[in-house]
Amino acid sequence: MTHDLTQARARHEDAPKGLAERAVLDPHRPRFHFTAPGGWLNDPNGLAHWDGVYHLFYQYNPLAAAHHRIHWGHATSRDLVSWTDEPVALVPGSEGPDRDGCWSGVLVDDAGTPTLVYSGRHGERELPCVATGSPDLRSWRKDPANPVIAAPPEGDLTAFRDHCVWRENGTWRHLVGSGIRGVGGTAFLYESEDLRDWRYVGPLLTGDASSGTAADLDWTGTMWECVDLFRIDGADILAFSAWDEGTTHYPLYWTGRYEGDTFTPDALHRLDYGQRYFYAPQSTRDARGRRVMFGWLQEGRDKDAIAAAGWCGVMSLPRVVTLGADGQLAQAPVPELARLRRDAVRTGAFTMADGTHVGLDDVSGDQLDIETTLRIAPGGSARLVVRESADGSERTVIEVSRAADGITGTLSLHRETSSLDPSVDSEPRYGELPLTGDGAVDLRVLIDHSALEIFANGRALAARIYPTRPDALGVGIRAAGIVAVERFDAWRMAALFDGPRPLWP
């Protein structure tokens, strides 16, 4: 490992200078979401609340804003709000099973020894590897026995990577994400006494790949990335990122029952309507007993724009996940984020007539937290407009609508006019919005430059937007049908980092 680190540092010295310096100049770079100092970031890894400190590791390439020879970056926090960059935790070996990348994995407590289980990549193959950490989790030693599983189970598999590891009745259990070609995505279950010697048990659950596209509500893809099994308020949840030969990506979860060596599903749900904009989530239970989840907010701009920016990939805000009254997951940003709020604006309650528009002149910006409760008449909708330029040529619209039946609703994000740049992704996003009899919608919108996270009655929708106009800062509401705005509170959010950070702390 020391040898690998020395070599990696030497390569880093040869890297193009200025990634971190360029990154901070980019107007699209979020300021209160966690981002890597520069270069590439993807999945959250090794999430843990260890001795009072939250550890967030992540898929990182400090050499370029491109997915190549992935390292594990590392940051710590005491409050889930501000983050300290820690030394890079894992670097691909100069030889061995992870010479082409240290892919996603988890951190477990092995009788006091912090232990990482991750996917070592070599060529087109990924195999499970283990590394043990110093008590402060700052330096890591790869196990000489890596890879700890020499080959995937027999069969024609689409992939074999990413890990969920837990201790149960004195034994380690371990899921590895995979897919059986022609059948569907799956998670293979293993067992071990020591995290090194693994016995294959069988597939925990296998999906059905025959349903066509992500538009189908029963679609689960051909491979399950980043499987995450947890129990919440008595319900078992199997979360995974459905992938299908590289074209579609969607974070999904099954509710059901995990018993013995199988998971019996009740129902399949969408974890975030932003699809690939909240990808590869991982969660942990913190010392307060909360289920805290992060996901990777991918870019919606092209490779050239990313290379010019010098950085890419945003970590979502940490979310608390609970079980809603409807048996589905309810998500909300952790309450600690309120510490970043500044300059509160509260409009008080008002009612909007059909077809009216209210411009909220006191609430403008590209770094905002907005909380509102809207009551919508059956058949009506409210459109919250954000990042609107003075001439209206750029605007992003978040729409909550209530069907004529009064009890079904839709949450939509319209990005067609978010940016005058024709090269950025402008596809809309939408999903079902649960409503109660009075048609109330608790809507929370966090705007952080290109990162947008929306929460409506517990459902989540994350995405990226890239307005080009410096004056695309306006906020307003439009009503179709009568909309009662019961509260509307907004804050400017403080920035987490100032100035460039070392790419290789």
Q: Does 162 bind ligand FRU (CB under 6 A)?
A: yes
- The amino acid occupying position 210 is S
Question: In this structure, what token pair is assigned to residue 157?
Answer: 């598999």
Q: Does 316 bind ligand FRU (CB under 6 A)?
A: no
Whether the CB-CB separation of 295 and 24 falls below 8 Å is answered with: no
CB of 428 to ligand FRU, least distance (A): 23
CB of 59 to ligand FRU, least distance (A): 4
Closer CB to ligand FRU, 284 or 417, in the complex = 284
Q: Rounded to an integer, what distance in angstroms lies between the CA atom of residue 477 and that of residue 491?
A: 16
CB of 45 to ligand FRU, least distance (A): 8
Q: Which residue has the tokens 């809309």?
A: 428
Contacts (CB under 6 A) with ligand FRU, residues 275-304: 279-280
CB of 166 to ligand FRU, least distance (A): 19
Helices (H), 196-316: 303-309
Q: Does 225 bind ligand FRU (CB under 6 A)?
A: yes
Whether the CB-CB separation of 220 and 242 falls below 8 Å is answered with: yes
CB of 126 to ligand FRU, least distance (A): 7
Cis bond leading into 147, ω under 30°? Answer: yes
Q: Does 161 bind ligand FRU (CB under 6 A)?
A: yes
Going across the sheet that includes 357-359, the strands are 357-359, 474-480, 381-388, 396-402, 408-414, 429-434
Active site residue 43: yes
CB of 335 to ligand FRU, least distance (A): 28
Closer CB to ligand FRU, 205 or 384, in the complex = 205
Whether the CB-CB separation of 464 and 297 falls below 8 Å is answered with: yes
Total residues in contact with ligand FRU, by rule CB under 6 A: 13
Closer CB to ligand FRU, 128 or 333, in the complex = 128
Of 35, 42, 76, 381, the one binding ligand FRU (CB under 6 A) is: 42
Q: Does 399 bind ligand FRU (CB under 6 A)?
A: no
Q: Does 228 bind ligand FRU (CB under 6 A)?
A: no
CB of 103 to ligand FRU, least distance (A): 3
Contacts (CB under 6 A) with ligand FRU, residues 58-117: 59, 70, 103-104
Q: Rounded to an integer, what distance in angstroms lies between the CA atom of residue 356 and that of residue 14?
A: 58
Closer CB to ligand FRU, 70 or 131, in the complex = 70
Which residue among 43, 98, 100, 228 is the active-site one?
43
What b-and-e string marks burial along 404-433, b requiring 16 or more CB atoms within 10 Å of the CB?
eebeebbbbbbbebbbeeeebbbeebebeb
Q: Rounded to an integer, what distance in angstroms lies between the CA atom of residue 296 and that of residue 309?
A: 18
Q: Rounded to an integer, what distance in angstroms lies between the CA atom of residue 252 and that of residue 221?
A: 10
Closer CB to ligand FRU, 43 or 244, in the complex = 43
Q: Rounded to an integer, what distance in angstroms lies between the CA atom of residue 382 and that of residue 352?
A: 9
- The amino acid occupying position 484 is A
Closer CB to ligand FRU, 74 or 387, in the complex = 74
Closer CB to ligand FRU, 297 or 360, in the complex = 297
Q: Does 226 bind ligand FRU (CB under 6 A)?
A: yes
Point out the residues that are catalytic: 43
- Contact residues for ligand FRU, defined by CB under 6 A: 42-43, 59, 70, 103-104, 119, 161-162, 225-226, 279-280
